[in-house]
């Protein structure tokens, strides 16, 4: 495990790291000793290469840096328990200096790293490489700086450095953004406040460190965006310090050594100018502008000036009482210990430089307002308003306007006509054509042709329409006019629905699609205005649906019968499989004979097959997998009629030509987050499937960011979302910047097609059983199957002629070997090779862990092998970057108690607790867990039940889901079959455990150990 950290100083971002260790018990050292587990230069360079960051040959050389770390008696504490153990010393916690090797990163290198961090989300970017919180924070600082630059909230400055001067771009944190900046600074990890690439590290205040970090990035971003970024312009001969300073702001950053004399005289002027900008930042009041309409249509508009308290927004003082205050104003000004007149003059001076109307109003001794013509008003609204409001200046508009952002806007309105009435639940052809008439609306009012014609002829954006002033931009009018020329006389039902949800058609804003009872009923059905009813389980369905599952079935039926897609995003354990099988059975009962395609991870294919046989007996179920899968002419709609075809994501792409030949009744994607990346082959193959309806099942519809939804929604409802470029520009980036309107837009578009129920919902919890038990059938990998076959083959030879104790020893040894192979080949081979990709059980753990992390769940994982526990701990930590506790027989009592305390009490504690069955099966109270995974089976159910009861006991407030892992077609599955089918043998096995198996006959043992043919064929 390698944990990467970042730090910053002056104009550089640095990378350093910590590598894992087993145990450290070093003695305190003087001065600033090297961090014992600090990563070397080669490790850092290899990690960058592993995550896809390309270093330039001209990259800066590594440096020795110093940082302050929490320590006890001189022994530093690792940033994460995943790294290793240090002795539990009783001394007080303090900050001590330690030295590390650090790699300076260029701005381009850091941009690559930031892109990797953003795309990886909560997952590891590379096996064994974890980004620390400080890396994620610095990446968020880069986004924050870019946001400030995009809004124009930055200014040029100059600073002294090393006896010279350096030009500097700085962020401008305006008054309205102070709370935002304070929250940003408070979130800064303390580690970033105590780093020094040169000299001694000192602890800096968080606000100061945060401002330095934003200044560093703001300067990098602005310089990188300049066209002369690499042209240093050193040939300037002018002695004009203004020109030297302004040109240096375009160069790559460097001291102005050549112009020290000119800059020394100019520097105080720059500082004074920069200080004046502080008037735009934190103050006890802010400048307030009130816009007033003219009394007559041809009259002048007025901007009046005021001061508004930032603590009491109802306290507004007009400008005339700033210049001539009463006693109440004088007392207030004295309490704030500031100069309101100077503040107002500074603000007016800045506004006058941009607005001539304001400048003209300053000719009076005590300026209080200015007059504006219609053209000047529009210039103010169109070109200056956003910038003025960003400066923290509040603008109040006439009451009839409301907020300027909420001004009435032009849009088109569709009035459709259809024959007949829509009946909810009836099958509708989404390609039906509907007649449509188009109108123009302003806000909620329909415009007459004469009114819209008048707007098209306006020479000014301001118009007095129906007795009130409205702002209509020319480009809005032109967009609507152009769109009306292209509007068709007929549109499909699907177009009408999608357009009404997206509120856009032909690139024009669409306010409403009216006149259709079908649309009204469907929208009501898709929205919360139509409550979910309970659909009874279809006839022939061998199971009972719980109330929330019956509602889920109702929801799925309605959407699929309308030919629309549905994303069932229920929390893990709420029965997405059962609801989907009930839907398929309902379709079959309605006469649908076309086959259904179900795509899922390889590790759960067997689960789906068994659940289908259990809940829908008699339905033809075909597992399309393995080397001997059917790829011939038998794969036709006629021969697959009425079948459920189960296949994997890997084959979805490889056999896409085969799947594309079939017109499926429906296509189901289980664990649909597998197609979250729209550029992958399997995502493109999923979108190419031809099916009457599409269903996506996932517990994590948004795994890393809202961009994950684009690919899933494009599978469910093609065309609902904007194209990818527009989606990224108008939705993804604004959502990442925290814009609520963008969040609401994507919620409005996707909510009708996503049903999400959580186990934390009291209505759901009260309806759940206290304990849900399920078998998780895991396939063997090819390596596991080969090893399994080799052991069973050698067993036949070894048993020949063996008897007595020797025979028992051979049988018990084979049982142990086969169980270890089912867990992981490493247990059997005893080598130190890779963990991932070699075990079906490990693959299933990864899938479950991913959902658990996303849902905030916690899990106990039991195994009878301590070595397997170590492998699981390493795999989980290096795959997900989350700590996994591991309790085994060698853990001291004190550490055992500490593990239990951390798992039970820490709010953000380790989500996984791995326990050896013997050490952790009794005597522990672990009710914080709501999942129990029995990784390998102990054939005595009482022992397993005791382990499950670590979580399912008094004090447990949530339902507990128990996952029993079993390798398909192996000894594990056959023992379970013997328990179910042969009661007498079951008692023998359960009563005496594995030793009793050694007394079976050779033929019984061969039947018990032999891999099922189907399991081998499907590899």
As a whole number, mean pLDDT of residues 965-980 equals 75
pLDDT classification of 695: cutoffs 50, 70, 90? very high
Residue 763's CB: how many other CB atoms inside 10 A?
10
In 3D space, the residue among 921, 917, 926, 985 whose CA is nearest the CA of residue 952 turns out to be 926
Residue 576: which residues within 8 A CB-CB, separation 6 or more? Answer: 568, 570, 670, 697, 699
Burial call 178-201: b when 16+ CB within 10 Å, e when fewer: eeebeebbeebbebbbbbbbeeeb
Q: Find the helix packing angle between 133-150 and 206-225, rounded to 10°.
A: 60
Contact present, 156 and 245 (Cβ < 8 Å): yes
Greatest mean pLDDT among 186-195, 530-539, 924-933, 949-958: 186-195
DSSP string, 458-483: -SSSEEEETTEEEE--HHHHHHHHHH
**Separation CA 436–CA 415 (nearest Å):** 5
Is the pLDDT confidence value at 312 over 80? no
As a whole number, mean pLDDT of residues 647-675 equals 90
**Helices within 881-940 (DSSP H only):** 893-905, 917-920
pLDDT classification of 992: cutoffs 50, 70, 90? very low
DSSP string, 45-110: HHHHHHTTPPPPTTPPPPEEEEEEEEEETTEEPPSSTTS-B-----SPEEEEEEEEEEEEE-HHHH
Residue 668, phi then psi, degrees to nearest 5: -120, 130
- Expressed in percent and rounded to 5, the helix, strand and coil fractions of the chain are 45, 20, 35
CA 589 to mean position of chain CA atoms: 40
Per the prediction, the chain carries an average pLDDT of 81
Please, is 331 exposed, middle or buried when counting C-beta atoms within 10 Å of its C-beta (0-12, 13-18, 19+)?
A: exposed
**Separation CA 430–CA 694 (nearest Å):** 14
Residue 925, phi then psi, degrees to nearest 5: -110, 105
Residue 94: which residues within 8 A CB-CB, separation 6 or more? Answer: 70, 71, 72
Contact present, 608 and 670 (Cβ < 8 Å): yes
**Per-residue pLDDT, 229:** 44
**Separation CA 811–CA 996 (nearest Å):** 10
Residue 965's CB: how many other CB atoms inside 10 A?
24
Residue 624, phi then psi, degrees to nearest 5: -95, 90
Write out the H or E segment, with its range, that includes residue 658: helix 656-660
Is the pLDDT confidence value at 499 over 90? no
**Per-residue pLDDT, 922:** 65
Contact present, 472 and 455 (Cβ < 8 Å): yes
CA angle, residues 433, 434, 439, in degrees to nearest 5: 140
CA angle, residues 20, 24, 26, in degrees to nearest 5: 135
**Separation CA 514–CA 523 (nearest Å):** 11
Better pLDDT: 657 or 332: 657
CA dist list (Å): 577 to 13, 568, 663, 698: 48, 10, 23, 11
Q: Label the pairing between strands 394-396 and 285-292.
A: parallel
Contact present, 625 and 554 (Cβ < 8 Å): no
Q: Label the pairing between strands 316-318 and 301-309.
A: antiparallel
CA angle, residues 684, 689, 693, in degrees to nearest 5: 125
**Separation CA 367–CA 788 (nearest Å):** 92
**Helices within 824-966 (DSSP H only):** 825-829, 840-855, 866-880, 893-905, 917-920, 941-948
Is the pLDDT confidence value at 95 over 90? no
Query: Which range, of 624-633, 677-686, 976-985, 999-1008, averages the lowest pLDDT?
Result: 976-985
Structure tokens belonging to residue 952: 């399912």
**Separation CA 602–CA 624 (nearest Å):** 11
As a whole number, mean pLDDT of residues 41-55 equals 88
SS3 550: helix
**Per-residue pLDDT, 426:** 45
Strand partners, 664: 691
**Separation CA 705–CA 720 (nearest Å):** 18
CA 247 to mean position of chain CA atoms: 41
**Separation CA 819–CA 48 (nearest Å):** 39
As a whole number, mean pLDDT of residues 892-917 equals 85
**Separation CA 523–CA 752 (nearest Å):** 8
CA 70 to mean position of chain CA atoms: 31
Q: Label the pairing between strands 884-887 and 912-916.
A: parallel
Better pLDDT: 786 or 734: 786
Statement: 547-765 belongs to CATH 3.40.50.10810: yes
Residue 879, phi then psi, degrees to nearest 5: -95, -40
pLDDT classification of 583: cutoffs 50, 70, 90? very high
**Per-residue pLDDT, 987:** 39
**Separation CA 912–CA 935 (nearest Å):** 13
Residue 957, phi then psi, degrees to nearest 5: -100, -10
Strand partners, 966: 777
Structure tokens belonging to residue 106: 């260029």
**Separation CA 942–CA 315 (nearest Å):** 72
Contact present, 15 and 6 (Cβ < 8 Å): yes
Residue 633: which residues within 8 A CB-CB, separation 6 or more? Answer: none
**Per-residue pLDDT, 986:** 33
Write out the H or E segment, with its range, that includes residue 749: helix 740-750
CA angle, residues 914, 919, 922, in degrees to nearest 5: 100
Structure tokens belonging to residue 735: 């959502």
Better pLDDT: 858 or 249: 858
| Number of H-type helices and E-type strands within the chain | 40, 35
Contact present, 682 and 712 (Cβ < 8 Å): no
Residue 111's CB: how many other CB atoms inside 10 A?
17
Residue 500 DSSP code: H
pLDDT classification of 30: cutoffs 50, 70, 90? low
In 3D space, the residue among 885, 917, 921, 883 whose CA is nearest the CA of residue 900 turns out to be 885
Is the pLDDT confidence value at 90 over 50? yes
Is the pLDDT confidence value at 403 over 60? no
SS (H, E, C) 574-598: CCHHHHHHHHHHHHHHCCCCCCEEE
**Per-residue pLDDT, 231:** 47
pLDDT classification of 306: cutoffs 50, 70, 90? very high
**Per-residue pLDDT, 581:** 95
Residue length, the chain? 1019
**Separation CA 788–CA 698 (nearest Å):** 33
Contact present, 505 and 484 (Cβ < 8 Å): no
Write out the H or E segment, with its range, that includes residue 42: helix 41-50
Q: What is the CATH number of domain 773-1017?
A: 3.40.50.300
**What percentage of the chain has pLDDT greater than the value 90?**
14
Is the pLDDT confidence value at 598 over 90? yes
Is the pLDDT confidence value at 699 over 80? no
pTM of the model: 0.62
As a whole number, mean pLDDT of residues 151-178 equals 81
Residue 42: which residues within 8 A CB-CB, separation 6 or more? Answer: none
Write out the H or E segment, with its range, that includes residue 743: helix 740-750
Residue 368's CB: how many other CB atoms inside 10 A?
15
* CA-based end-to-end distance of the chain: 32
């Amino acid at each position: 495990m390698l944990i990467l950290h970042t730090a910053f100083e002056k104009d550089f971002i640095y990378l350093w790291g910590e590598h894992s260790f087993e145990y450290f018990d070093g003695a305190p050292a003087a001065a600033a000793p090297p961090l014992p587990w600090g990563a070397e230069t080669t490790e850092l360079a290899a990690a960058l290469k592993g995550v896809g960051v390309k270093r330039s040959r001209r990259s800066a050389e590594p440096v020795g840096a110093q940082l302050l770390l929490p320590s006890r008696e001189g022994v530093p504490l690792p940033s994460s328990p995943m790294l290793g153990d240090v002795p539990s010393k009783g001394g007080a916690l303090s900050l001590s200096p330690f030295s590390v090797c650090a790699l300076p990163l260029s701005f381009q290198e850091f941009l690559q790293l930031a892109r990797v961090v953003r795309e990886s989300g909560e997952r590891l970017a590379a096996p064994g490489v974890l980004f620390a919180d400080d890396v994620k924070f610095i990446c968020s600082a880069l986004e924050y700086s870019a946001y400030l630059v995009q809004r124009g909230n930055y200014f040029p400055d100059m600073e002294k450095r090393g006896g010279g001067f350096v030009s500097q771009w700085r962020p401008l944190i305006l008054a309205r953004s102070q709370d935002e900046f304070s929250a940003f600074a408070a979130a800064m990890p303390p580690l970033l406040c105590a780093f020094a690439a040169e000299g001694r590290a000192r602890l800096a205040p968080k606000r100061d460190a945060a401002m330095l970090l934003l200044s560093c990035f703001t300067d990098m971003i602005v310089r990188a965006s300049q066209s002369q970024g690499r042209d240093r312009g050193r040939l300037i001969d002018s002695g004009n310090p203004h020109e030297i300073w302004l040109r240096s702001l375009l160069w790559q950053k460097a001291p102005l050594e050549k112009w020290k004399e000119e800059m020394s005289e100019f520097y105080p002027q720059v500082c004074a100018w920069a200080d004046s900008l502080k008037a735009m930042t934190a103050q006890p009041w802010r400048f307030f502008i009130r816009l007033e309409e003219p009394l007559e249509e041809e009259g002048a508009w007025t901007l009046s000036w005021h001061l508004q308290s930032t603590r009491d927004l109802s306290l507004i003082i007009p400008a005339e009482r700033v210049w001539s205050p009463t006693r109440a104003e004088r007392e207030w000004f004295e309490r704030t210990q500031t100069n309101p007149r100077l503040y107002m003059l500074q603000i007016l001076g800045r506004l006058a430089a941009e607005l001539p109307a304001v400048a003209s109003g300053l000719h009076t001794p005590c300026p209080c307002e200015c007059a504006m013509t219609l053209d000047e008003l529009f210039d103010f609204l169109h070109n200056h308003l956003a910038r003025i409001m960003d400066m923290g200046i509040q603008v109040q508009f006439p009451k009839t306007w409301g907020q300027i952002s909420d001004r009435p806007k032009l849009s088109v309105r569709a009035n459709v006509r259809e024959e007949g009435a829509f009946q909810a639940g009836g099958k509708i052809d989404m390609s039906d054509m509907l007649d449509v008439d188009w109108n123009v609306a302003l806000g909620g009012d329909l415009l007459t042709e004469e009114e819209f014609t008048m707007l098209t002829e306006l020479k000014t954006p301001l118009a007095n329409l129906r007795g009130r002033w409205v702002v209509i931009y020319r480009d809005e009018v032109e967009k609507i006019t152009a769109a009306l020329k292209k509007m068709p006389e007929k549109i499909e039902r699907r177009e009408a629905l999608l357009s009404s949800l997206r509120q856009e058609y032909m690139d024009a804003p669409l306010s409403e699609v009216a006149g259709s009872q079908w649309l009204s009923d469907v929208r009501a059905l898709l929205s919360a205005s139509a409550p979910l009813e309970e659909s009874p389980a279809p006839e022939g369905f061998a199971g009972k649906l719980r109330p929330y599952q019956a509602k889920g079935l109702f929801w799925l039926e309605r959407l699929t019968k309308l030919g629309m897609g549905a994303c069932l995003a229920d929390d893990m354990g709420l029965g997405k499989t059962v609801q989907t099988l009930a839907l398929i059975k309902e379709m079959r009962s309605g006469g649908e004979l076309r086959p259904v395609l179900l795509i899922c991870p390889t590790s759960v294919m067997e689960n789906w097959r068994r659940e289908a046989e259990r809940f829908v007996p008699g339905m033809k179920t075909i597992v399309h997998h393995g080397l001997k899968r059917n790829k011939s002419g038998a794969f036709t709609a006629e021969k697959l009629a009425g079948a459920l075809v189960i296949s994997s994501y890997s084959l979805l792409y490889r056999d896409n030509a085969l799947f594309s030949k079939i017109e499926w009744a429906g296509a189901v994607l289980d664990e649909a987050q597998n197609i979250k990346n729209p550029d992958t082959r399997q995502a493109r193959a999923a979108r190419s499937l031809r099916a009457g309806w599409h269903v996506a099942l996932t517990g994590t519809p948004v795994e890393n960011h809202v961009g994950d939804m684009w690919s899933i929604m494009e599978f469910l409802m093609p065309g609902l979302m904007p194209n990818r470029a527009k989606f990224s520009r108008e939705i993804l980036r604004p959502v990442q910047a925290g814009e609520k309107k963008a969040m609401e837009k994507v919620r409005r578009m996707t909510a009708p097609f996503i049903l999400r129920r959580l186990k934390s919902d009291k209505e759901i919890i009260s309806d759940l059983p206290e304990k849900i038990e399920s078998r998780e059938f895991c396939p063997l990998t090819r390596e596991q199957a080969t090893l399994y076959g080799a052991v069973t083959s050698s067993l036949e030879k070894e048993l020949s002629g063996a008897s007595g104790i020797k025979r028992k020893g051979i049988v018990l040894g084979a049982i142990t070997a086969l169980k270890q192979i089912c867990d992981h080949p490493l247990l059997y081979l005893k080598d130190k090779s890779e963990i991932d990709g070699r075990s079906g059980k490990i693959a299933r753990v990864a899938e479950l862990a991913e959902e658990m992390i996303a849902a905030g769940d916690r899990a106990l994982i039991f195994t009878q092998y301590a070595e397997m526990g170590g492998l699981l701990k390493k795999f989980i930590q290096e795959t997900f970057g989350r700590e996994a506790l591991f309790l085994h027989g060698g853990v001291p009592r004190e550490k055992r108690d500490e593990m239990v305390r951390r798992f039970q009490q820490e709010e953000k504690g380790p989500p996984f607790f791995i326990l050896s069955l013997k050490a952790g099966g009794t005597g522990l109270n672990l009710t914080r867990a709501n999942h129990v995974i029995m990784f390998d089976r102990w054939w005595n159910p009482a022992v397993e039940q005791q382990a499950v009861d670590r979580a399912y006991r008094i004090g447990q407030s949530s339902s507990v889901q128990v996952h029993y892992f079993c390798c398909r077609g192996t000894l594990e599955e056959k023992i379970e079959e013997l328990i179910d089918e042969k009661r007498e043998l079951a008692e023998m096995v359960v009563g005496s455990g594995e030793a009793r198996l050694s007394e079976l006959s050779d033929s019984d043992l061969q039947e018990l150990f032999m891999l099922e043919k189907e399991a081998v064929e499907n590899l």
